[in-house]
Chains A and B, each alone.
Chain A
Amino acid sequence: MKIVVLVKQVPDSGAERNLRPDDNTVDRSSANNVINEMDEYAIEEALRLQEAHGGEVTILTMGPERASESIRKALSMGPDGAVHVLDNALSGTDALGTSRVLAAALQRINPDVVLCGAESTDAGGQVLPHMLAERLGIAALTGARKLTVEGSQLTIERQTEEGYEVVTAATPAVVSVWDTINEPRYPSFKGIMAAKKKPVETLSLADLGVSAEQVGWTGALTGVASHSKRPPRSAGQKVADSGEGGVQLVEFLTNEKFV
């Protein structure tokens, strides 16, 4: 089974994140750039599939030069190799353009299963898996909290507001996962050492047959006009409970007309 895991490098969601004042893009220079958290669960699920069914696991990342750090980190968990789509013309690419580039890369690799996180912590759009499936004409099984494989048939439990749906499709398919699906392994020392020697193929837009006009600032079909910091919330009243804290709380709720 040939498995590709999509990995996105994002600014650490545990720290303050900013947009750049000049072009409204994500400020990556001052941020601690990490693997999108949900993608680690996708990597873990891919490794478990490989352990059960054999085959190979390839990381696919589109991003600037520094994304190679996240690729090595991903490889240290155990995947066999990686493809890094790297091209200066990609700066400013929106979700639609990203799906165009990744779809072209996936066509080249031709995997049975494409695993990815259900959403990224920076954009949070959740649009990419279905955009890819639409472009590639393959199935999308998204929002999985459980994945089972029998032969070439994939079945997921898709988390919904009401409970879950059991959804099934034959390979090839895109599968996106939530953090409820597994517990990602930590890279071992051996894994970290091995990752340094694993093959990482770098592909340009030309390699993929995607024209620069279709991506980047020129190709983007959405644009950010401006951004501003939301005024920080200011702390209100704080009382120490001296036996009447619950009553004081309800007093506040009553004044605010919630009770």
Chain B
Amino acid sequence: MAEVLVVVEAAGDAVKKVTLEMLTMARGLGEPCAVVLGGPGAAAPLTAKLGEFGAEKIYVAESDEIAGHLVAPKASVLAKLVKETGPAAVLIASTQEGKEIAGRLAVKLENGVLTDVVSLDADGTATQVVFAGSTIVKSTVKGDLPIVTVRPNSLTPAPQAGAAAVSNVDVAVEDKDKLATVVNRVAEAKGARPELTEASIVVSGGRGVGSAENFKLVEELADLLGAAVGASRAATDSGFYPHAFQVGQTGKTVSPQLYIALGISGAIQHRAGMQTSKTIVAVNKDTEAPIFELADFGVVGDLFQVVPQAAEEIRKRK
């Protein structure tokens, strides 16, 4: 059975959920094989988890040159690996860096690439959700090699034992791949909350939250539910919450099990980032707010009354 290369996305020592989704998705096309591209020691903490989700092989490419330069070295190593292994498909996370690696890989191999894929058939036909979640597209890559980037929260990862045989990959990085140097990585405090695009539950605040100070209400509800915090563009533009947490057309696209919109009217720009969520709950004082057209459950009311009461009720039930 042909191999399916899955480029591992990790946050430090933890395999990201999207990687497990890709390993699950890969089984439909061939033998899932994980590819770790990172600095020295990057793979060791990840291999056990990758094996639990079906990785038969784990290709490990570790080098300071990979960690120290933006994207290009990863794409070169991956292109070489594709040529050597002749995989049935290459799956990469649909994150900023994942898409960038995919773009370079496509040029190097003169091969088509599909981004933001949510499912992949055995024959390589990919499903993409486009135009703010309003349109479903079935696409194919011409030739034998689908290169696709997979959107986080597209499927539920299913464990399956894999051999997880580690195979070290030679890393020879050319000068042309070392043009952009990463001189510093700065972590910005976001506490212990899950990452926005990976979270099962997202609680977002909008203009109706009214101030940066009031966002504590949003955070409180999020923490009670183990959720990530998001914000509408109106809220981030007003300085209520950092831009990195913006959900919408010009921000993050999320697709959690549960999305709670607090004081968000539901402009198309916001809906673009969240309307493929499984369940949507909204609290807004305007009964005409378009967010209610999407909401499975809506409360027309003052969020400063409703949210603290909900928080109290959750505490009681826990």
A165 CA / B183 CA spacing, docked (Å): 8
Q: Which A residues contact B (CB, under 8 angstroms)?
A: 13-19, 24, 37-38, 94-96, 99, 118, 121-131, 133-135, 137-143, 145, 155, 158-170, 173, 178-180, 220-230, 233, 235-241, 243-250, 252-254, 256, 258-259
Interface contact B314-A250, CB-CB below 8 Å: yes
B307 at interface by CB-CB < 8 Å: yes
A130 CA / B71 CA spacing, docked (Å): 9
A66 CA / B291 CA spacing, docked (Å): 34
Given contact pairs A134-B107, A227-B136, A127 touches B305 in the complex (Cβ within 8 A): no
B230 to chain A minimum Cβ distance, whole angstroms, is 13
Given contact pairs A166-B183, A248-B299, A258-B258, A134 touches B75 in the complex (Cβ within 8 A): yes
Interface contact A222-B201, CB-CB below 8 Å: no
A50 to chain B minimum Cβ distance, whole angstroms, is 23
Of the listed stretches B21-29, B39-47, B158-166, B273-281, name the one at the interface; the rest are far from the partner chain: B273-281
- By a CB distance below 8 angstroms, the chain A residues around B309 are 244-247
**Considering only CB atoms and an 8 Å cut-off, how many residues of chain B contact the other chain?**
94
Nearest residue in A to B280 (C-beta to C-beta)? A233
Interface contact A170-B312, CB-CB below 8 Å: no
Interface contact B281-A249, CB-CB below 8 Å: yes
- By a CB distance below 8 angstroms, the chain A residues around B182 are 165-167
Interface contact A222-B113, CB-CB below 8 Å: yes
- By a CB distance below 8 angstroms, the chain B residues around A129 are 100, 103
B296 at interface by CB-CB < 8 Å: yes
Interface contact B114-A222, CB-CB below 8 Å: yes
B43 to chain A minimum Cβ distance, whole angstroms, is 19
- By a CB distance below 8 angstroms, the chain B residues around A143 are 96
B11 at interface by CB-CB < 8 Å: yes
- By a CB distance below 8 angstroms, the chain A residues around B112 are 94, 96, 220-222
Interface contact B138-A245, CB-CB below 8 Å: no
Interface contact B106-A131, CB-CB below 8 Å: yes
- By a CB distance below 8 angstroms, the chain B residues around A16 are 134
- Chain B, 56-75, contact with A by CB distance < 8 Å: what is the 0/1 string? 00000000000000111001
Interface contact A227-B75, CB-CB below 8 Å: no
Given contact pairs A162-B188, A222-B113, A230-B129, A142 touches B283 in the complex (Cβ within 8 A): no
Give residues of chain B (165-202) contacting chain A, Cβ–Cβ below 8 Å: 176, 179-188, 195-197, 201
B133 at interface by CB-CB < 8 Å: yes
Of the residues A15, A128, A236, A245, contact of B305 by C-beta under 8 Å: A245
- By a CB distance below 8 angstroms, the chain A residues around B154 are none
- By a CB distance below 8 angstroms, the chain B residues around A179 are 243, 250
A94 to chain B minimum Cβ distance, whole angstroms, is 7
Given contact pairs A220-B142, A222-B141, A126 touches B305 in the complex (Cβ within 8 A): no
Nearest residue in B to A229 (C-beta to C-beta)? B135
Q: Could you say which of B113, B294, B305 has the most chain A C-beta atoms within 10 Å of its C-beta?
A: B113
A247 CA / B312 CA spacing, docked (Å): 9
- By a CB distance below 8 angstroms, the chain B residues around A133 are 72, 104, 179
- By a CB distance below 8 angstroms, the chain B residues around A250 are 310, 313-314, 317
Of the residues B185, B187, B196, B269, contact of A13 by C-beta under 8 Å: B269
Given contact pairs A13-B249, A139-B180, A165-B185, A245 touches B283 in the complex (Cβ within 8 A): yes
- By a CB distance below 8 angstroms, the chain B residues around A248 are 299
Interface contact B301-A240, CB-CB below 8 Å: yes
Q: Could you say which of B96, B283, B292, B311 has the most chain A C-beta atoms within 10 Å of its C-beta?
A: B96
A149 CA / B84 CA spacing, docked (Å): 40
A223 CA / B287 CA spacing, docked (Å): 43
Of the residues B130, B185, B297, contact of A237 by C-beta under 8 Å: B297
Interface contact A96-B106, CB-CB below 8 Å: yes
Nearest residue in A to B134 (C-beta to C-beta)? A230
Interface contact B115-A228, CB-CB below 8 Å: no
A250 CA / B225 CA spacing, docked (Å): 11
- By a CB distance below 8 angstroms, the chain B residues around A118 are 96
Nearest residue in B to A143 (C-beta to C-beta)? B96
B216 at interface by CB-CB < 8 Å: no
Of the residues B70, B134, B296, contact of A167 by C-beta under 8 Å: B70
- By a CB distance below 8 angstroms, the chain B residues around A259 are 225, 314, 317-318
- By a CB distance below 8 angstroms, the chain A residues around B102 are 127
Interface contact B180-A252, CB-CB below 8 Å: no
Interface contact B185-A235, CB-CB below 8 Å: no
A128 CA / B99 CA spacing, docked (Å): 9
Interface contact B299-A225, CB-CB below 8 Å: no
Interface contact B281-A166, CB-CB below 8 Å: no
- By a CB distance below 8 angstroms, the chain B residues around A238 are 287, 292, 295, 297-300
Q: Could you say which of B196, B243, B299, B317 has the most chain A C-beta atoms within 10 Å of its C-beta?
A: B299
B2 at interface by CB-CB < 8 Å: no
Interface contact A126-B100, CB-CB below 8 Å: yes
Interface contact B143-A13, CB-CB below 8 Å: no
- By a CB distance below 8 angstroms, the chain B residues around A236 are 295-298
- By a CB distance below 8 angstroms, the chain B residues around A226 are 137-138
A197 CA / B179 CA spacing, docked (Å): 38
B214 at interface by CB-CB < 8 Å: no
Q: Could you say which of B131, B249, B299 has the most chain A C-beta atoms within 10 Å of its C-beta?
A: B131
Of the residues B179, B188, B307, contact of A163 by C-beta under 8 Å: B188
| Complex A-B, nearest 6 residue pairs according to Cβ-Cβ distance, in ascending order | A241-B301, A246-B309, A127-B103, A221-B112, A139-B179, A163-B188
